[in-house]
Structure 1
Amino acid sequence: MSTDTPQDMDLSEPQGAQEARLPALHDPEAFWENLKPAAISESALVDNHLISVTRAHPAHTAFDMLRTRLLQALNEKDWTRVAVTAPTRGCGSSFVTANLALAVARLETVRTVMLDMDLRAPSLHDMLGVPATDSMADYLSGVIAPENFVQKVRPNLALALNDTASDTSAELFQNDITAEVLEELEEALCPELMLFDMPPALEFDDVLGFLPNVDAVLVVAGGGVSTAEDITKVEQILSEVKPILGVMLNKADGPVSY
């Protein structure tokens, strides 16, 4: 993890020049401005049904509703960090996370950082058509500076993507360095919302191990996939550690409902 210390400074420069640069290191405006730019693939938007961008599909209103209710709940508690998970694979938690992030990005004054924390099966880079710059495991281990890892796809939407699977994510999530890396990122960008796309909560202990790093959890249930028993079990396990903001039903049959 990259940090600037007095030993790192170029002492050949006049002291005034060094001091003039120091505030920029902690200036969120400057940090956002200097993030690596990236472009979301238009074909990926269509192929993966990221409807929050085009708003051509009537279901986009459900994500707008979720966006507004989520931000209101976070503002009331002064929270920023939300983990998005599901009971099992196939519920569409990454689909919900991506559409939610893109819906929030339409609010110009709200800055969002979306992170792919499903290290066992990362998918957001393919879903968005944005190549990952490096390994999330390496970033969380502190060997990559945030400015060399995080990408900006909208003026107010930054992504931390991953294309390298790892089966040691549970251990990494419970390492103190992970908490330090995330704290550094939040201090650098000062986002109003940090969305963490997590693996299924009932398949591994990844989510439980990561929960101390978030404020609350959003659970995505899959229509025809999740059972009532699955949802109840997830709520019982996770609510003992962090508040559950709600359960969203994805893949619902019939007309769009709220």
Structure 2
Amino acid sequence: MEMMKTITAHSRLDDDTDAVNLRSTASAGRHHLEQPASAEAFPRDPTHVHGLSLTYLEGHRIVAWRADHRITRAYDILRNQISQAPKGSGSLMVAVTAPACGCGTSVTAINLAFSFARSTTGGVLLVDGNGAAPAAGSLLGLAPLSNPSRDRQLGGHVRLDAQGVRLDLLRPACGQERKFRPHQLADDLQQVRQVLQPAVIVVDLAAMLGFDEAPPIVAAADVVVLVVAAGQSTRAEVAVCQSYFQPHQTVQVVLNKAQRHGL
């Protein structure tokens, strides 16, 4: 990840994606999800803390649990920009998505969650909401869940530890990946807010232009992080994504896969 800036919802792009002029967004208010119909509750505290392999994490570009890593600073800057966004009462919900697959949303979401976990009191929850190709568990070195909940699509809640930096993870159980229903995911996230009451929720979503589950969560988020890939994402794709953003939302754009510039 080389650059992060802010884009105004519904604004026009003046240049190609790898050289876009991104502007600040003033945010006010928020969009509330409807109350979930199900009374089933997520456990407030998981029964086990899973220690992560630090070597495995670094091998998969998950580094923001380390304050001294050279790449961590970029995620910390993004975290600080997001933290300034206005929000209502309760958890700050950050939706991480991209125009198309392969832009690096999962790596961005996990590193952002660890960055928040190092600096935020009240707990951080990472949600693997990518029903098309859930990747958070694999990137963290976790085995697939083998006992899916009968009714819920977010079946697995585990607390993770990377050298003392802890966050919670919710992910789909094995066999549920392609059964995601966007509005049920929205209901689950609302219930997560009510039951677990984390300070921050980071949701790793599928690509906006290829799957139906991302737009409803993007519309409900306090902050949207749009990951675009240099040499891959197009100005037209980003412009279409902008049409889904709400006027009150803060939208941060991350330029990924850029060439090193020596700055």
Q: TM-score if structure 1 supplies the norm length?
A: 0.73
Letter in 1 for 2:260: G
Task: Indicate yes or no: 2:174 matched with 1:174.
Answer: no
For the 8 Å contact 1:119–1:164, the answer to whether it is kept is no
Change over 3 Å in CA distance of 1:103–1:142 after alignment to 2? same
Q: Work out which of the residue numbers 211, 236, 239 in structure 2 matches 1:232.
A: 239
Q: Work out which of the residue numbers 37, 44, 59 in structure 2 matches 1:31.
A: 44
For the 8 Å contact 1:216–1:242, the answer to whether it is kept is no
Q: Tell me the residue number matched to 1:18.
A: none
What is the rounded CA distance, in whole Å, between the counterparts of 2:191 and 2:88 in structure 1?
Answer: 24
Q: Tell me the residue number matched to 2:167.
A: 157
What is the rounded CA distance, in whole Å, between the counterparts of 1:242 and 1:173 in structure 2?
Answer: 22
Task: Indicate yes or no: 2:184 matched with 1:187.
Answer: no
- Structure 2, unaligned runs of 5 or more: 1-37
- Structure 1, unaligned runs of 5 or more: 5-24
Please report the RMSD computed on the Cα atoms of aligned residues, expressed in angstroms. 3.1
Letter in 1 for 2:226: V
Change over 3 Å in CA distance of 1:173–1:75 after alignment to 2? closer
C-alpha displacement of 1:127: 0.3
Letter in 1 for 2:178: D
C-alpha displacement of 1:122: 0.8
What is the rounded CA distance, in whole Å, between the counterparts of 1:94 and 1:173 in structure 2?
Answer: 18
Task: Indicate yes or no: 2:123 matched with 1:116.
Answer: no
C-alpha displacement of 1:31: 2.9
What is the rounded CA distance, in whole Å, between the counterparts of 1:167 and 1:190 in structure 2?
Answer: 28
The Cα offsets for residues 114-135 of structure 1, whole Å up to 9 and x where unpaired, read as 0101111111111011234457
Letter in 1 for 2:177: S
Structure with more of its chain in helix, by fraction: 1
What is the rounded CA distance, in whole Å, between the counterparts of 1:57 and 1:104 in structure 2?
Answer: 15
Q: Tell me the residue number matched to 1:104.
A: 116
C-alpha displacement of 1:246: 1.5
C-alpha displacement of 1:193: 0.7
Number of equivalences: 222
Q: Work out which of the residue numbers 74, 77, 82 in structure 2 matches 1:65.
A: 77
Larger Rg: 1
For the 8 Å contact 2:60–2:139, the answer to whether it is kept is yes
What are the equivalent positions in structure 2 for 1:1-258 lying under 5 Å apart? 3=40, 31-32=44-45, 34-55=46-67, 57-74=69-86, 80-107=92-119, 109-134=121-146, 138=149, 141-142=151-152, 149-154=156-161, 156-162=166-172, 163-164=174-175, 166-169=177-180, 172-175=181-184, 178-236=185-243, 238-240=244-246, 243-255=249-261
For the 8 Å contact 1:135–1:164, the answer to whether it is kept is no
Letter in 1 for 2:249: P
What is the rounded CA distance, in whole Å, between the counterparts of 1:194 and 1:46 in structure 2?
Answer: 23
Change over 3 Å in CA distance of 1:213–1:188 after alignment to 2? same
Change over 3 Å in CA distance of 1:196–1:135 after alignment to 2? farther
What is the rounded CA distance, in whole Å, between the counterparts of 2:194 and 2:153 in structure 1?
Answer: 18
**Structure 1 vs Structure 2: percent identity of aligned residues?**
23
Letter in 1 for 2:152: G
What is the rounded CA distance, in whole Å, between the counterparts of 2:168 and 2:88 in structure 1?
Answer: 24
Secondary structure, in 3 states, of the residue corresponding to 2:192?
A: helix
What is the rounded CA distance, in whole Å, between the counterparts of 1:89 and 1:55 in structure 2?
Answer: 29
The Cα offsets for residues 11-35 of structure 1, whole Å up to 9 and x where unpaired, read as xxxxxxxxxxxxxx9xxxx934x54
